[in-house]
Amino acid sequence: MSDSAQMVGGRYRLLRTIGQGGMGTVWQAHDEVLGRDVAVKEVLPPPDLTGSEREEFAVRTFREARAAGRVAHPGVAAVYDVLEEHGHPWIVMQLVHSRTLGEIIRDEGPMPPADAAAIGLQILEALRAAHAAGVLHRDVKPDNVLLTEDGRAVLTDFGIATTEDEAPLTRTGILIGTPAFMAPERAAGGQARPASDLWSLGVTLYLAVEGHSPFHRDHALATLGAVMHAEPEPLARAGVLGPVLLGLLRKNPAERMTLEEAERRLAVIITGGPPDQTGPVTASAGLGAGVLGAGATGLGARAARRRRRGLPLAGIAAGALVVAVVTGGAAWWSSRPSTGGETTRITPSVVTTLGRTTGTPAPSVSESTSAPAVTAGTSAPPASQSTPPPTREQPRTPATGKRPTQSPTPTKSKEKKPESPSESPGSLDGADRAEQEDEEPE
């Protein structure tokens, strides 16, 4: 059908084409009855359907359009009418004078994270209203997000919307939705659910800030495979929006970030509050199993910063404690009692014991700290092991003609005299040897 004026349904005059996609063409039209401009979507069935399959496709489109008509929210383009003409369905919707988010990204490139957060928050509000009415959009993508000049975001094209209990495949085997924005559970043949729309919003916001689709491939089957199994490239431009994107792109819908949590985090970003932090994760946990729990709260982030500021103080205190211990130990070591320079090794000393018993000469014994040395033929009684070694040694007096009647007390000189080469432990000097020879019986 050309852009020339043509009536549809006897009241909608088609003016020009304003959009086109895999499911059909969107026209700007004028309602001749109510005198207002509207958007009319021409829903085109796949060309390979048989006659009965086309009829079934039309019935399903009518049912989905009626479901979308139950959603009333400023962020949702309202559905006014649905009809069949020229062998396929037509859906009449609210006309919003705007540009699509996809068009802006293609013309101007990636947008700042704060701007994407403001758009995402409005789309979440629209999805909340749709889900409350039991309606799933199933095709959230940049080309279905309208942006007005006053900054309002409107979610449009509920033409393939469905209720929550509908299967993602039609009875003719057609997969409903755009593959690059389809949730993994739907790409695997599972049922659509509210979390499926949140995944599609996550992909939409990813494209808005990064400038490219995370899962788009050269053909549809490769794209669906990437949706189910591949991980997107690491975020390079998302900034504070990163935790929200990673939370929405968890492949397991049970672990995906909830609508309420996403709303709270986007509101914090828009108001300029501190972004929530995330924990370290692996690549599979970050996007496949979900990135990173979604992170700590703002209060937790401030507590973490306080802990980081306390680390230098703790290091200084620990260093001061080590210095105090070392200084105190050195002072104690230097002030302990002096032992007079003696070493722990005790050198043997020579002790002369003289004595006499009735009828039996008294043997002379020389002791050392290691073992007693007996020079006479008779054995001497063993020395007491409990007697401590002498601490001081006095110079020995030369032997005289008189023999002392008592054994002198062993002494030790203050300074250890160097031993002569001929002197050994346990030996007697010349005077003592002569005295011993005099005492031997004749």
Show binding-site residues for ATP: 41
User: Is 197 part of the annotated catalytic residue set?
Assistant: no
Secondary structure element (H or E) that encloses residue 16, with its range: strand 12-21
How far apart, in whole angstroms, are the C-alpha atoms of residue 435 and residue 355?
A: 12
DSSP string, 70-107: T---TTBPPEEEEEEETTEEEEEEE---SEEHHHHHHH
Nearest to 298 by CA among 277, 270, 267, 269: 277
- Rounded Cα distance between 50 and 67, Å, is 26
Report the distance separating Cα 119 and Cα 205, nearest Å.
9
Element (H, E) at 129: helix 113-132
DSSP 8-class letter at 379: P
Q: Which of 31, 139, 157, 276 is catalytic?
A: 139
What are the residue ranges of helices labelled H in 377-429? none
| Cβ burial 10-24 (10 Å sphere, 16+ → b, else e) | ebbbbbeeebebebb
- Residues classed as catalytic: 139
